[in-house]
Structure 1
Amino acid sequence: MRATLRWAQADFRAHRGEALFVVLASAGVIASLLLAGALFSYAANPWQRVFNQSQGAHIWLHTRGGADMDALSGVDGVAALSGPYRTAATTVESRGTRVGVTLRAAEAAPPETGRPLVTAGGWLARPDDGDRDGSVVLEDSVARALWAEPGDTVRVTGPDGAPHVLRVGGIAEVAEPRYQPGGGPGIGWVLPGTLDEIAREDTGRSVGLRLEDPGDTDFIVQRAVTVLGADRVAQVTKWQQARAEAGGDDRLLGKMFAVFGLGALLAAALAASGAIGARVRGQLRDIAVLKAIGFTPGQVTRGFLVQHLAFALLGVALGTAAIALMGARIPGRIGEAAAVWQDLPGHTALMIGIPCGAVLLIAAATGLSAWRAGRVPPVPVARAALPSAAPMTALGRRALGMRVPPALVLGWRAAFARGGRTLVPVARLALPLLLITVALVAWSTLDQFRSRPAQVGRPAALTVRADQPAGPSDSELEKTLATVPDIAAVHPGAEMAALVPGQTGTITLRGLGTARHPYPSTVVEGRAVGGPDEAVAGQGLLDLLGVRVGDWVRMTVGGRPQILHLVGRTIEPESGGRVITTTLDALREREPQLRPAFHALVLHEGADPRAVSGTLALAAGGTLEIRETPNPADRLEPARGVIAALIAVLALIGLTELLTQISTGVRDRGRDLLALKAIGLTPRQIGAMIVTAAGLTALVSAVVGTAVGALAGSWLVDTQGASSGIGAGIARLPSLPVLVMVVVGAVLGAVAAAALPATRAARRRLADSLSETL
């Protein structure tokens, strides 16, 4: 054992540069993977991120006037209070859209507990600071529903019906249930003086309770209600409810990022093990000498295993410590994600699991390389007898005879020398490029949701509802809609809840469009509705009922049966895909007096929904409720930053693998370079040959990686879409120029990485290369 350790120490001193590369490669890969894990948690768990950053309250109590809120501070288990805030139920209107909002009277300084996180604009400003009209800060989902931005003015109607004009001072996120059309009211914050002008009576109070133990939520709710009096408490909101509403997004993003993370970990482990294996192959002469002086195969194996495991552990420890200590200081979103990650669920598991997983994979690869080192024959001259490259083929000789540049011919021969062994470096370098292409497929799919909503089940950009009973009649509404030039089509519709067979679940039955003018649903399987009693459905409904396109479905609506024939499957982002859509005429066969509950508006290409909404609001005189059709891309927007960071991580892993292959190739072809110099090749030609070999290897790897990645990415995105209920058929491949850029970038990176090793190899003298024969 002492001899093994002494040899390992001497080997480290003799090859410090190689050892340093292995340590830094392991540290860089682990640091990149940990940053990717931080970004994954940051994006895939938005509610928890907001809750931790805002010191959110676990319980929100909404009470009627007169409740003694101060008594809650004495309840055991309550760590801090947010508020209490005086509240008023109002209606906020902007651009023809009206939203129910509960305004809270807050101070000019944001609270410490339950603090709204301002994402745009600023917090509340006092009138003496230049805010003459009064300002309001809107919760993010309310601002999106109103299409409101900082600086806009909104109309607020208080409990007495009097209108007030407020300026939107900011937009904020909170860890409370988000506003949804048809659900509970949204949240807004104003100064106490502003709320006094809007609602002069004591309308209610809201208070948030941050608990010492979140598991005591139900018990603390009972105690709080007892302290305040059950007749004083109007509503209770618990943190589990808010987290559950955001849970669908978390699961979808979490699955996608888990696949990316496992792939990146595998690519990183292969890159690190490749660097270790290359270092072992570079010391075959030393190993032969060791065996010649009496080292056993077991001693050689243990020596390499201990030595390289120590390098891997050191690199992993350095990378982990760097992220733990310095990650939060990185500028931009990466640093913010690293800072928040420490308080997110799964932080400890990832901080331990990623390094341990990488060490285990590296240990397995190191053990294999060390075992091969133990089998090296103790006769160093035998290496010189082995051919280091394939013999020149007839095609190569013919190319040289046709005056093809020798660097190109010899570079091709060096890159693809031995058929079976050539596949290994190509496959190793193709893996990170494959994952980069998969990430680009996910990015293109998100772009499709944003730029081409009609192709992902959102052809209608606006939904219009008339005020009842004061609103216009159906004929008057259609005339008003016809006066707006940017509206391409108007489709009347109605939605209702329906019970599935056996009455064990509820689905959404939607009548949209008429038999003469059907709604342009995005049908990806089967066909569109074209006759009576025909319908199309989302993937979630097909999975729920266990039916396929072509089957008949029976459901119960208002106690009466409704039987429809499924003729197609559509992309359906709403309600987990548990939606069945037919024409309004089909619903009127069961209920002849059915009136449209809303009208879906399809706009001309290039029309701005906000401008159309404003024009329509003016034309209707404020009698319409106009809403923008929700876009699933809004929920997945945080994934963009994560995908970009993932591409950077994979590029670093690919660069590590590329550097390993280049250094290995230069060392393994030492005798070839000696022979080429002897027959008269110039240093420039030798350098060009090495660069060409690296570029050709990268070219083949990039072509294979992008081709397989495009297929795998489409399958992965469609599989995720099907599992979430949206349905397969949403994947979109990146454009051809983007894929070409990936290939070109890989080749240029290989050429740039090979430039320095090629220059050093070309400048070596003949005497310096004689050792390569041993």
Structure 2
Amino acid sequence: MSVLTLVARLALRDLRHRRAEAFLLLIAIAATTTTLTLGLAVRGVADRPWDRTRAATAGPDAVATGDRAASLTPLAHAPGVTASAGPYPALSAALGVRDIRVDASVQGRDTAPGAVDRPQVTAGSWVRRGGAVIERAFAGALRVRPGEEITISGHRFRVAGIAVSAGRVPYPSSTPGLIWVTRADLRRIGAPTSQVMPLRLADPADAPAFAAAHRGVRSWQDMGAYATAELHLVDSALLTGTWALALLGVACVAVLVGGRLADQTRRVGLLKAVGASPRFVAVVLLAEHVLLALAATAVGLLAGRAAAPLLVRPSSGLLPAGSPHLTVASALVVALVAVAVAGAATVYPAIRGARTSTVRALSGPRRTPRRSPWLIALSARLPVPFLLGVRVAARRPRRVILATASLALTVAMVVAAIALHGDIARKDARLAGPGFVPGADNPVTEQVSQVVLALTVALLALAAVNAVLIAWATSLDTQRFTSLARTLGATPRQVTAGLSAAQLLPALGASLLGIPLGLAIYYAARTAGGAAGSILIPYARLPLVVPGTLLVVAALTALPIRVVCRRPVARVLAAD
């Protein structure tokens, strides 16, 4: 039998004997690979809908706005300008659709398309006498289709079509919503209050400088940033969530591997007793988790590829840029990250277990506890449950640090989600103004909310798995200690409460640390996503994070602790 075949058979046999643990580990790594797949799939696609819309509609490089057409005409001959259209007259008017009353920006257009800024009709036809065309995002909020009747300042119009344009930021990022009519119909509605002239430049990259040098001019880069702001926020949220899930995945794998290797000490001794070298034992232990990492890679690639199109939906005012796709290089990156997560958490405990002497491994994992005078003095006067909890936590500082770090990261992401919802509530409150359709959803914030909700659920699920694993590993490690405490008079309820207290101590520190960390993460992600302005944070909700974290941790850890503590004392003390 070859070495690889032997390693594979031993690894698969151990996975079959510990199916529940293998399933939890698969979930932990799959959550990371799924999020990483999403991040790689949507990376760099935020600007594609805007670019495609610009190309399909002969989008302008700059748009000039002024009070009179005479003030804009010189810009058509300015240095660097190669083409222009208009100027087009515009005014603000009251729009009526069924029982909806909202302000709208009405622009007069020619029936023949111009050289610059030719809106693409996606339904119906272009403007004609008595027929208006509505910008698609605005039409979606109004729930109107071609053929329906609308009123503009009391004048009746028939919706001739629905179109998209890169000459103006789509609704609701730009308000009020845009409607195109013929020039003659505009004069019938009222006197123009402004003029709009799209411009084509010799070098589109010079648009920001051109806009800065001329008053009332806006560059296509500025409009594109507003039009794709939600997609950039999605990209930023996925990047932040990927890192958070990767760190939590490492924590989960480290706890699970440490608990499994502590439980497999006798198996390590048996392998070494029949001639296995320490290197072979370490390879067998690593192979189990590498196989799970590869399985989690397949799960993450499939789930991420299926969910990616749902996360890159542009505003309805832009043309979609096709479905995101994964390359072979991206799939290899996901696989390497999964193997690295499993390997980073496995290599140290695997090597430590492999180096354990054969006699000690066969005799059992008993260790002489360290006597700390300060710990004894600190806990001597505490009630029995807290005494047990403090001593259990103090004797495993690395696990306490790991639990605190993983819970703090989870709490931080929950706080960041709370801060995001505060910002979204403020943006949604703006939809009550005269330029917004009453009762319409905000597509700019809806997509971000969905992504953050999915990431939060994944983080909470992974954190729950991590909390259960830590409680399970701690309960197994302290079986002899808790059994001796029960023989000396401690009740099963006191022992259970003590182990729960050992989990609540890091949870308390994590909840206090996670609040400022979450606010810092949200501010950094918001800045990276291109958002501007002040942050409206619901501070009244933040204090609830501390008791909420403690209650959730207590509920999650109660079952594994109770299962271990119900084992008979005589059986535990007589084992091995």
TM-score in same-fold range (> 0.5): yes
2:450 matches 1:647: no
Match of 1:387 in 2: 369
2:144, 2:453 → 1: CA distance?
Answer: 28
Q: CA deviation at 1:375?
A: 1.7
2:298 matches 1:317: yes
Match of 1:672 in 2: 481
Match of 2:342 in 1: 362
Q: What letter is aligned with 2:378?
A: L
Q: What do residues 375-401 of structure 1 show as CA deviations (whole Å, max 9, x unaligned)? A: 2222133732432897862232212xx
2:83 matches 1:93: no
- Conserved 8 A contact 2:385-2:498: yes
Q: Secondary structure at the match of 1:383?
A: coil
Q: CA deviation at 1:666?
A: 1.1
- Conserved 8 A contact 2:46-2:235: no
Query: Compared with structure 1, are the counterparts of its residues 10 and 268 closer, same or farther at alpha carbon in structure 2 (3 Å cutoff)?
Result: closer
- Conserved 8 A contact 2:107-2:179: no
Match of 2:404 among 426, 439, 456: 426
Q: What letter is aligned with 1:698?
A: A
Q: How does 1:4-23 map to 2 (within 5 A)?
A: 4-23=7-26
2:231, 2:469 → 1: CA distance?
Answer: 38
Q: Secondary structure at the match of 1:99?
A: strand
Q: How does 1:472-511 map to 2 (within 5 A)?
A: none
2:152, 2:410 → 1: CA distance?
Answer: 53
- Conserved 8 A contact 1:389-1:669: no
Match of 2:208 in 1: none
**Alignment RMSD, CA only?**
5.1
Q: What letter is aligned with 2:549?
A: A
Q: What do residues 696-749 of structure 1 show as CA deviations (whole Å, max 9, x unaligned)? A: 3322222222233334544x268549xx5957xx3444414x223333332222
Q: How does 1:706-745 map to 2 (within 5 A)?
A: 706-714=515-523, 716=524, 720=528, 726=532, 730-736=534-540, 738-745=541-548
- Conserved 8 A contact 1:388-1:669: no
2:304, 2:228 → 1: CA distance?
Answer: 28
Match of 2:379 among 380, 389, 396: 396
- Conserved 8 A contact 2:389-2:501: yes
2:345, 2:152 → 1: CA distance?
Answer: 66
Match of 1:704 in 2: 513
Q: What letter is aligned with 2:353?
A: A
TM-score (norm 1): 0.51
- Conserved 8 A contact 2:472-2:561: no
2:379, 2:467 → 1: CA distance?
Answer: 26
Q: Which has the higher helix share?
A: 2
Q: CA deviation at 1:115?
A: 7.5
Q: How does 1:575-594 map to 2 (within 5 A)?
A: none
- Conserved 8 A contact 2:236-2:525: no
2:565 matches 1:762: yes
Q: CA deviation at 1:651?
A: 1.2
Q: CA deviation at 1:674?
A: 1.6
Match of 2:56 in 1: 59
Query: Compared with structure 1, are the counterparts of its residues 430 and 175 closer, same or farther at alpha carbon in structure 2 (3 Å cutoff)?
Result: farther
1:311, 1:18 → 2: CA distance?
Answer: 11
Q: CA deviation at 1:156?
A: 4.4
Q: CA deviation at 1:101?
A: 5.6
Q: Secondary structure at the match of 1:384?
A: coil
Q: How does 1:186-201 map to 2 (within 5 A)?
A: none
Q: CA deviation at 1:313?
A: 0.9
2:221 matches 1:417: no
Q: What letter is aligned with 1:99?
A: V
Match of 1:261 in 2: 242
2:444, 2:302 → 1: CA distance?
Answer: 33
1:322, 1:422 → 2: CA distance?
Answer: 33
Q: Secondary structure at the match of 1:764?
A: coil
Q: Secondary structure at the match of 1:295?
A: coil
Q: How does 1:139-158 map to 2 (within 5 A)?
A: 139-140=136-137, 155-156=151-152
Query: Compared with structure 1, are the counterparts of its residues 676 and 390 closer, same or farther at alpha carbon in structure 2 (3 Å cutoff)?
Result: farther
Q: What letter is aligned with 1:743?
A: V
Match of 2:422 in 1: 444
Q: CA deviation at 1:427?
A: 1.6
Q: Which has the higher strand share?
A: 1
Q: What letter is aligned with 2:366?
A: A
Q: Secondary structure at the match of 1:649?
A: helix
2:475, 2:163 → 1: CA distance?
Answer: 55
Q: Secondary structure at the match of 1:165?
A: strand
Query: Compared with structure 1, are the counterparts of its residues 169 and 59 closer, same or farther at alpha carbon in structure 2 (3 Å cutoff)?
Result: closer
Q: Secondary structure at the match of 1:387?
A: coil
Q: CA deviation at 1:188?
A: 5.1
Q: CA deviation at 1:166?
A: 3.8
Identity of aligned pairs, percent?
Answer: 24
- Conserved 8 A contact 1:309-1:366: no
Q: CA deviation at 1:287?
A: 1.4
Match of 2:115 in 1: none
2:243, 2:30 → 1: CA distance?
Answer: 18
Query: Compared with structure 1, are the counterparts of its residues 666 and 27 closer, same or farther at alpha carbon in structure 2 (3 Å cutoff)?
Result: same
TM-score (norm 2): 0.67
Larger RCO (CA under 8 A, 6+ residues apart) = 2
2:286, 2:280 → 1: CA distance?
Answer: 10
2:539, 2:337 → 1: CA distance?
Answer: 35
Q: Secondary structure at the match of 1:376?
A: coil
Query: Compared with structure 1, are the counterparts of its residues 278 and 156 closer, same or farther at alpha carbon in structure 2 (3 Å cutoff)?
Result: same
- Conserved 8 A contact 1:426-1:698: yes
Q: Secondary structure at the match of 2:276?
A: coil
